Structure 1
């Protein structure tokens, strides 16, 4: 009898979502990011090693969630917030290094956070578990953007562009490379090559902001119509 009661209790126990493997990976990313902040202005090599390790293990939380059947709304939100905060920290550091461009960094930060927050919120309103799930009838550009190859390419280019700015402050340039009759350092080439992709990513963020705001407004309009019909 006692064994049966214990067995029933175990079966009825709620799972600890915080201890799911993909969420533990997310917490590790946060810890690595926080550690990198202590070196951002003093030791760029240590700072960027920790920063990129945090970004690297981001590739495994989604894989773990699918493999262990541990996909959760909390995990999706944790992943999105960690991504945004990680980039924000690097942007804030660049803003400190280049105060003449502070307003530009602030506007980029506002656009990045607000567009993803609205996209996440509108996704939750429609019953989705992730802001990356775009239905066929929804925005075609965003649906293409959230495919793995495109998302990985644009996000990586965005991070590399900010890193090029970051390393420029410390005059860390790398060896000279000659291409197309142009001689420039590795850092300069990375900055030039990634800038168009960086700009494209933030243009898509603006489109995402408008699309998500429209989706939320549509939900409000539908609810208002239902309330009016019920009167």
Structure 2
């Protein structure tokens, strides 16, 4: 009797991931003109990020494809928002570009290197040994607040283009909240830079060891 193969594309968490992409595309389309609709789609897509993870663990449907899909959707969603912000705030285009580049390259390299590390037995730099990074990696509340605060900062910049909100202490509410969440976005960017540096070092360790193994084989 032929063995039935699983179709991971139809796993519940991956279907949720596809829904996130669909919502993000709708948000991108309406971002320049329809703030409320864009926000609803973008925020719903972001909230589903937590749902797919729980579904994967509950249904035992965790996959490498799902992990990559989740990361790519996160990075693409943020990149699309930052591109829109650059058109709204051309004076700050450089900083928005820098933020996008750091976000994409840092997460991509670190994720790719982690996957390569799983196939080797070399000694790598482990950031969880650092007290600050240990909290970041092990405390889910801290991780959630960092990620949520970072997303909130850019989302508030987006909403500020359309609305000021009620005045608080002489400042529009959305601008005040953006100022309060900006330090979180800066710290998050710094942590991503650390990911980029450590990922690069760990990738170099893989290269050095693989080259040494090839050289050893050539001698024999």
- Superposition TM-score, scaled by structure 1 size: 0.86
Q: Which residue matches 2:148?
A: 156
Higher Rg of the two aligned structures:
1
User: Which residue does the alignment assign to 1:133?
Assistant: none
Task: Compare 82-91 and 94-103 and name the one that shifted more.
Answer: 94-103
What's 1:218 paired with? 205
Count matched residues: 211
RMSD: 1.8
Pick from 160, 171, 180 the counterpart of residue 184 of structure 1. 171
Determine the structure 2 residue equivalent to 1:145: 136
1:56-112 Cα offsets, whole Å, 9 max, x none, are 111111101111111100000000000000111110000011112112111111111
Helix, strand or coil at the partner of 2:170: strand
**In structure 2, what is the equivalent of residue 175 of structure 1?**
166
Which one is further off, 97-106 or 74-83?
97-106
Check conservation: 1:142, 1:208, Cα contact below 8 A.
Answer: no
Residue of 47, 60, 63 corresponding to 1:72: 63
Q: Is the 8 A contact 2:166 2:173 kept in 1?
A: yes
Gaps of 5+ in 1: 1-7, 129-135
- Correspondence list, 1:5-24, <5 A: 8-9=1-2, 12-24=3-15
Report the TM-score, using the length of structure 2 for normalisation: 0.90
In structure 2, C-alpha distance between the alignment counterparts of 1:101 and 1:146, rounded to whole Å: 31
**C-alpha distance in 1 between matches for 2:216 and 2:14:** 43
1:227 is displaced (CA, Å) by 1.8
* 2:54 paired residue number: 63
8 Å contact kept, 2:125–2:202? no
Aligned pair in 2 of structure 1 residues 89, 146: CA closer, same or farther (>3 Å)?
farther
